[in-house]
């Protein structure tokens, strides 16, 4: 389950209205077959995801963040290699 709030580029800095039923909770997660929860971070705790979800056994958010570090390093390495070869 990939949780993310979306908004237009024009409204990027605006705080969207918080709807109580928007937040993912354990109660909603029970409707899945042991679903794993992802988020690209930063996250607004207890607005998008409850603490129980963020810190729970179904969260792979921190693993996802760690993997993103390696992905960014690989992209930067390719860019620098290309620049150095010119």
pLDDT tens sequence across 36-66: 999 999 898 998 899 999 999 999 999 999 9
> Are the beta carbons of 37 and 11 closer than 8 angstroms?
no
Write down the pLDDT at residue 69.
95
Residue 9 pLDDT exceeds 80:
no
Please list, residue by residue across 22-35, b when 16 or more beta carbons sit within 10 angstroms of its beta carbon and e when fewer do: ebbeeeebeeeeee
Whether the full predicted model's pTM is greater than 0.85, yes or no, is no
What average pLDDT does range 67-80 have in this prediction? 96
CB atoms within 10 A of CB 70: 9
Write down the pLDDT at residue 81.
95
Structural domains in the chain plus CATH codes:
9-84 (3.40.50.1370)
CA distances from 56 to 11, 39, 44, 46 (A): 31, 13, 16, 13
């Amino acid at each position: 389950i990939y949780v993310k709030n979306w908004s237009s580029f024009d409204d990027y800095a605006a705080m969207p209205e918080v709807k109580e039923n928007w937040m993912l909770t354990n109660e909603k997660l029970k409707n899945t077959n042991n679903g794993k929860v992802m988020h690209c971070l930063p996250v607004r705790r207890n607005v998008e995801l409850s603490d129980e979800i963020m810190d729970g056994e179904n969260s792979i958010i921190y693993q996802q963040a760690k993997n993103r570090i390696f992905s960014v390093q690989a992209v930067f390495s390719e860019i620098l290699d290309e620049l150095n070869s010119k």
